Structures are given as C-alpha cells and as structure tokens.
C-alpha cells in the first residue's frame, strides 16, 4: 500500500514513491544495536538478551512482504545438514580471504575441506 504524501523518516524527508532499501550488512554491524558487532560470537544468540529485541535488528532472510520464501526450508535444511556434519572434523585446505557481497554475504570462492570421520 502506498501513502501518497511526503514523509519524514529518521529525520530525512522522503518524497512519495521513493524506493527505500534496507541493508542487512550494515544493520547487523551497527554498534548501537550489537555489542562487538565485528566479533564472531554465535553464542550471543543463546544468551538471554544477547541479541537486540527489535525485530528490525536482524533479518538475514530479508524483512517485510518480499522476505525470503525459503526461510523455513533453509533453516530446516541447515539443521539437518549440521546434524549429519557435526560428528566429523573438517580440515580446511584453504579459506577464502575475501567475501562476496550479493543478496547474502558468502565466501568469494570455494572453501574446500576434508571431513575426518569420528573415532570409533
Ligand atoms: C540460508 C539460506 C537463505 C538465505 C540467507 C536467504 C536470504 C534471502 C534474502 C535476503 C532474500 C531477499 C529478501 C528481500 O528482498 O528483502 C531472499 C529472497 C528469496 N529467497 Fe531466500 N534465502 C535462503 C534460502 C532460500 C531457499 C532455500 C529458497 C527456496 C527453496 C529461497 C527462496 C527465495 C525466494 C523465492 C526469494 C524471493 C522472495 C520475493 O521476492 O518475494 N531462499 N532470500
């Protein structure tokens, strides 16, 4: 639904019909939302209050009516994959030094690893 009037958003005048894009890369690294935003700390999602309560603070699958259609599938797929991979120990042959920025951030190039089976 479109509002036909000019509006003010976060102090900025926005003309009617203006396209506004959100940038997960920047929001996910906003120090006003995330303590130590550059620090890889998956446990922050486990600790109570470890992630901002604001629903717009974290949106790896996008947000709003055009958010990722495959989100539930992807989360389930990742859980199943992890369940199979966790017993193995990966030995990385090389790790890409750069990231590729597209609709998601991903390693720029292959990340080859050898999986060592669990000791029996
Ligand atoms: C970890 C895996 C995935 C991530 C992080 C991801 C992320 C995203 C993001 C950020 C968008 C753009 C949302 C926007 O425009 O605001 C998107 C769109 C979309 N994704 Fe995914 N996605 C993933 C997996 C999947 C899978 C597995 C499927 C299908 C089985 C899928 C189907 C789609 C479709 C159809 C759209 C377009 C939705 C639209 O424009 O209405 N995604 N995804």
Q: Whose CA is nearest to atom 7 of ligand 1?
A: 61
Q: Region 96-118: what's the mean pLDDT?
A: 89
Residue list, ligand 1 pocket, CB within 6 Å: 60-62, 66-70, 73-74, 103-104
pLDDT of residue 22: 86
3-state SS, the chain, equals CCCCCCEEECCEEECCCCCCCCCHHHHCCCCCCCCCCCCCCHHHHCCCCCCCCCHHHCCCCCCCCCCCCCHHHHHHHHHHHHHHHCCCEEEECCCCCCEEECCCEEECCCCCEEEECCCC
pLDDT band at 78 (very low <50, low <70, confident <90, very high): very high
Per the prediction, the chain carries an average pLDDT of 90
Q: Region 80-106: what's the mean pLDDT?
A: 90
| 25-39 per-position pLDDT tens digit | 999 999 999 999 999
| 107-116 per-position pLDDT tens digit | 999 889 999 9
| 45-61 per-position pLDDT tens digit | 998 888 898 889 999 99
Whether the pLDDT of residue 77 is over 60: the answer is yes
Whether the pLDDT of residue 2 is over 70: the answer is no
Expressed in angstroms and rounded, the spacing between residue 75 Cα and the centre of ligand 1 is: 11
Expressed in angstroms and rounded, the spacing between residue 23 Cα and the centre of ligand 1 is: 15
């Amino acid at each position: 639904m479109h509002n036909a009037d000019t509006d003010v958003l976060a102090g900025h005048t926005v003309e009617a019909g203006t396209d506004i894009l959100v940038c997960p890369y920047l929001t996910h690294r906003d120090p006003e939302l995330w303590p130590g935003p550059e620090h890889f700390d998956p446990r922050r999602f486990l600790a109570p209050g470890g992630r901002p309560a604001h629903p717009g603070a974290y949106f790896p699958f996008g947000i709003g009516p055009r958010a990722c259609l495959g989100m539930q599938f992807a989360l389930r797929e990742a859980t199943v994959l992890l369940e199979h991979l966790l017993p193995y120990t990966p030995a990385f042959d090389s790790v890409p030094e750069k990231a590729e920025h597209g609709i998601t951030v991903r390693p720029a190039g292959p990340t080859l690893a050898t999986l060592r089976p669990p000791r029996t």
